[in-house]
Each structure stands twice: as C-alpha cells, then as structure tokens.
Amino acid sequence: MGDDDSCLERTWFNSDQLAGELNLCPSPSNSTEDDFNTFYFYQTEQLAFLWILLILIVVGNMAVLVALSMSSARKSRMNYFIKHLAIADLSVGVISVLTDIVWKITVAWHAGNIACKVIRFSQVLVTYSSTYVLVALSIDRYDAICHPMNFSRGWRRARILVSVAWILSAIFSSPMLVLYEQGLVQGQVQCWIDFTAPWQWQLYLTLVAVSLLVLPALLIFACYIVIVRTIWVQSAIFLGINRAGGSAGTAMLDEDQESRRASSRGIIPRAKIKTVKMTFVIVFVFILCWAPYIVFDLLQVYGHIPKSKTMIAVATFIQSLAPLNSAANPLIYCLFSTHLCRNLR
C-alpha cells in the first residue's frame, strides 16, 4: 500500500470524534489539488456549521442553567438531573466543539503531547457524561413512577446516580490518556490514535459503540418498558375507581391537591408523567443523533463502505449529527417546562 493509500485509510478510520475527529492527513507537497480537497472536504462549510453549533450549545445550555437557578422548583430531583445534563452538554460545546474549530483552523497540532492526551480525554469524558447522566435520569424516572413512596431515599439515590454517571464516564474515557499521541503525519504534527492494523480499529470502535450507545440504550429501554407498564396498570386501576363512583370526589380536587395525594393513593401524578414524556423525547433525540454516527463508523471499519470522496462527504454530515444532541436538549426542556422559559423573560 502506498503512502497516499495509507493516509486515506488513516483518515477514514480517524474521521469521528472518539476515534480522532479532524485528524485529516495533511496534503504532501507533490499531491494534486483534488487530493487536497479530498482530505479537507467542505472545510469552509464545516467551520461555519461548527461555529453555529457552538453558539447554540453554549447559549442554550447557559440559559437553562440560569433559568434553573431562578426557578422556585430548583431543588426538585428532575431539575437536579437537568442541571447536570446541561453542564455536560455545555462542556461538549466548550471542550469538544471549540477544540475542533481551533484544530480545523490550525490543521496541525500545536499544544504538545500532554495537552493532546488531556484534551482528547476531556472531549470523550463530556461525551460519555452527557450519555450516562441521561441513563441516570431514566433510572430516576423509573424510581419515581414505580416506587413513588420512596421520598426519603429519592435525593440520596439521585446524587449517587449522577456521581456514578460521571465516574463511569471517566473510566470509559481513561484509555484516551494512553492511546492518543502527538506525532508527525506527512510532515505535520498531529494528535491521534495511530493504530496500524484494521482489526485494532474494529475492536476499538466496537467497544466504543457498546459503551456509548448499545449499553445506555438497553438500560434506558428496560427502564421505559417498566415505566410504561406501570403507567398502564395504574391508569386501569384509576379508571376502575372512577367507574365505581370515585370520580365525583376526585373531580373536586384542584391540580395541586391531586398531585400531592396521587402517590399515596397509588395513582401517578400528571407532573411525573410529564417528566417521563420529556425524558423519553430527550432519549429519542439522543438515539436519533448518535445511532447513525456509531453505525456508520462500524460499517467503515468493517469494510462495508467504499473509501471515496462521496463517502467522506456523507461521513462529514453524519458526524455533525452527534453534537446536535447537546444543542437540542435545551429546546426540549423549554417545550416541556414552560416555567424555565418564563424565568428567562
């Protein structure tokens, strides 16, 4: 395999954030203009998109954090999880997207080997933390719906869940401190993972897919199966009570009274169901953004996608979907939590 082919293969395997986003091989002095454009496909458009994405992520998640600090319900468990999810998403913008913008402008890596390891570790850490805080939120919603009487232990469990989410994220990200190295790539200093064999990329990205998408999705899916079943059963019980003549007394209760008394009667309050719906939408958007990204990378490294300029363009588009998750979450919060939007007026 010639040097150009080797460079294209490395570019192909390094075309995503977790495997070394933006580590595009610099064009050698004797390369044609077409070769150069292959490696820097849609460079201007990518930079423009990344700047817009950075602004949306930072402004949106900062607004959520400000609104939460002003909210009278800021001490609720749901807001506690939203705060940590917003912190993780904000970190994705500041640490991951901003670093990629700078790297796209400079092309070469100028920060040194230690910074190479630390920054890459931090980028992957905030990506995992955004994912696993969402898993923690889903587990908490399961607990709120299926064990509504555990009021005293709810906050303690919430703090433990968030702590575990960040600890797991750090554990899954720790290999980056070893794998990433600063080195010369066709005459320019770069920071990337220099696997020499395709099977190494296959193993690495398979582990990333399992830890970043498959495992979290299975945990969330299991939580929602139980949540939906519980809501279905409790709704059937509530309808049975109404048909037996209990609807008249219930109709006299205002919404706040109903919410306070519902858990003690085994009925799920509307507010809890609303938070479950919001969490479901957040999870749906997460899978929508990350699934194409992970699936495409796996197809790449297992040789099911041809190496071509067109496919690099497709890869560029798919890679842009993943950070969109961090920009979309604040919009979802406002759609389901009108008090957050009111606090910003």
DSSP calls for 35-69:
HHHHHTTTHHHHHHHHHHHHHHHHHHHHHHHHHHH
pLDDT of 107 above 90: no
The residue among 60, 145, 147 whose CA lies nearest residue 97 is: 60
d(CA 301, CA 310): 17
Residue-level pLDDT at 96: 86
Average pLDDT, the chain: 74
Higher-pLDDT residue of 202, 36 = 202
d(CA 70, CA 85): 17
DSSP state of 194: -
Q: Which residues, including other chains, have CB under 8 Å from residue 109's CB and lie 6 or more apart?
A: 103, 116, 182, 189, 190, 191
Residue 3 CB-density burial (10 A; 0-12 exposed, 13-18 middle, 19+ buried): exposed
Higher-pLDDT residue of 141, 174 = 174
Residues 193-209 pLDDT 10s: 888 888 888 899 899 99
Which bin fits 303, alpha (ψ -120 to 50), beta or left (φ > 0)?
A: left
Percentage of the chain modeled with pLDDT above 90: 19
pLDDT of 42 above 80: no
Percentage of the chain modeled with pLDDT above 70: 70
Higher-pLDDT residue of 331, 7 = 331
Which bin fits 197, alpha (ψ -120 to 50), beta or left (φ > 0)?
A: beta
Question: Pseudo-torsion of CA 53, 55, 60, 65, nearest 10°?
Answer: 120
Contact in structure between 79 and 67 (CB atoms under 8 Å): no
Residues 269-288 pLDDT 10s: 566 677 777 778 888 888 88
Residue-level pLDDT at 236: 58
Comparing 157-161, 177-181, 250-254, the range with the smallest average pLDDT is 250-254
pLDDT of 132 above 90: yes
Three-class secondary structure of residue 31 per DSSP: coil
d(CA 234, CA 255): 18
Residue-level pLDDT at 343: 54
d(CA 240, CA 251): 15
Q: Which residues, including other chains, have CB under 8 Å from residue 78's CB and lie 6 or more apart?
A: 140, 275
- Over its C-alpha atoms, the chain yields an Rg (Å, rounded) of 24
pLDDT of 121 above 90: yes
pLDDT of 244 above 70: no
Total Cβ atoms within 10 A of residue 1: 8
Comparing 88-97, 193-202, 305-314, the range with the smallest average pLDDT is 305-314
Comparing 27-31, 92-96, 184-188, 256-260, the range with the smallest average pLDDT is 27-31
Domains of the chain, first to last: 3-214+269-343 (1.20.1070.10)
What is the value of pTM for the model shown? 0.76
**Helices and strands per DSSP (H, E), number in the chain:** 16, 2
Retrieve residue 240's tokens.
Answer: 């049975």
The residue among 93, 107, 115 whose CA lies nearest residue 23 is: 107
Total Cβ atoms within 10 A of residue 341: 13
